[in-house]
C-alpha cells in the first residue's frame, strides 16, 4: 500500500507561539487515523498545519509524492485535501443543494451520493443552511468536503455538541467512508473508543509532540494505555 501523507519533523504554531514540536506522521492510501490527546495539546494545530494556516517553523508535508510544505491552503485543497472544521463553515444563506454544488469538483462523489449517505440532507435540500439543526449542518459540512473529491479527509471534532442519536448516525457514515469507501482520513475526536472502533491507526499528542503511535485495535484492547494518556472520561 503506497504512502499518501508524510509529515517529517513538523514544528509549527501561531505567531510567536510554537505548538507542535518535531511531529512525524505517515498515512497510507485508504487508511484512517484517529488523532487523540487532551484539550490544548496541538491536535487542531496539526490539522491546521496540514491545510496550511499555521506558521511553520520546520519540517515538511508531502501528499501523494507532492511536497506541499510551502503551498497555499488553496493549492493544498486542489492537491486533494478536504477539511471539515469544528465551525463547519457552511454557507448559511444558501440552500443545502447550493452549498454542495457551489464547491463540487468532478469525481465519484456528487450530490446524489451525498444525499444517499445523508437522507436528512436530501429531505432538506431546499432549506437554507441556517434552517438546519446542528447535526444536519455537520452532515452538510462533511458532504461539502466529499464533493471536493479529496484524497485525504480531515475532520476536527465531527461529533462535538451533537445529540447521541445524531452522533451514532454520523459515526455510521464515517465507518462507511473509512471501511467501505476506503477514503483516507484523519479524525480528531474526544470520544476515543468510538473513533478507534472505526479507524486503522492512532496517534496521541502531548504538549505538541507525538507520544504514542499504534494500531487502533491495539489501543482498544489495552484501555489502560488510553486512560494513562487521555484520562478515564476520554478513554470511555
- Tens digits of per-residue pLDDT, 119-177? 999 999 999 999 999 999 999 999 999 999 999 999 999 999 999 999 999 999 999 99
148 lies in some domain: no
23 lies in some domain: yes
56 lies in some domain: yes
22 lies in some domain: yes
Q: Structurally, how many domains does the chain consist of?
A: 1
233 lies in some domain: yes
The closest of 57, 44, 74 to 16, measured between CA atoms, is 57
119 lies in some domain: no
- Tens digits of per-residue pLDDT, 62-116? 999 999 999 999 999 999 999 999 999 999 999 999 999 999 999 999 999 999 9
The closest of 20, 18, 46, 21 to 33, measured between CA atoms, is 46
Q: Which domain holds residue 19?
A: 1-80+153-158+183-236
111 lies in some domain: no
10 lies in some domain: yes
Instruction: Report the CATH number that the domain containing residue 66 is assigned in CATH.
Output: 3.40.50.300
Instruction: For 207, list phi and psi in degrees, rounded to 5.
Output: 50, 45
Task: Check whether 234 has a pLDDT greater than 70.
Answer: no
Amino acid at each position: 500500500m503506497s504512502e499518501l501523507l508524510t509529515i517529517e519533523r513538523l514544528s509549527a504554531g501561531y505567531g510567536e507561539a510554537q505548538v507542535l514540536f518535531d511531529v512525524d506522521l505517515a498515512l497510507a492510501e485508504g487508511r484512517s487515523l484517529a488523532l487523540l490527546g487532551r484539550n490544548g495539546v496541538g491536535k487542531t494545530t496539526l490539522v491546521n498545519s496540514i491545510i496550511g494556516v499555521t506558521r511553520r517553523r520546520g519540517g515538511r508535508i508531502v501528499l501523494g509524492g507532492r511536497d506541499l510544505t510551502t503551498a497555499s491552503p488553496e493549492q493544498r485543497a486542489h492537491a486533494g485535501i478536504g477539511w471539515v472544521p469544528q465551525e463547519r463553515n457552511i454557507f448559511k444563506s444558501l440552500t443545502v443543494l447550493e452549498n454542495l454544488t457551489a464547491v463540487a469538483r468532478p469525481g465519484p462523489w456528487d450530490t446524489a451520493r451525498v444525499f444517499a449517505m445523508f437522507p436528512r440532507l436530501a429531505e432538506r435540500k431546499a432549506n437554507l443552511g441556517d434552517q438546519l439543526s446542528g447535526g444536519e449542518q455537520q452532515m452538510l459540512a462533511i458532504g461539502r468536503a466529499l464533493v471536493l473529491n479529496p484524497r485525504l479527509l480531515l475532520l476536527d471534532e465531527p461529533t462535538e455538541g451533537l445529540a447521541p442519536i445524531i452522533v451514532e448516525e454520523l459515526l455510521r457514515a464515517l465507518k462507511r467512508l473509512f471501511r467501505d469507501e476506503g477514503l483516507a482520513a484523519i479524525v480528531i475526536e474526544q470520544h476515543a473508543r468510538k473513533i478507534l472502533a472505526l479507524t486503522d491507526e492512532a496517534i496521541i499528542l502531548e504538549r505538541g509532540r507525538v507520544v504514542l503511535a499504534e494500531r487502533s485495535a491495539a489501543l482498544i484492547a489495552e484501555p489502560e494505555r488510553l486512560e494513562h494518556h487521555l484520562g478515564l472520561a476520554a478513554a470511555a
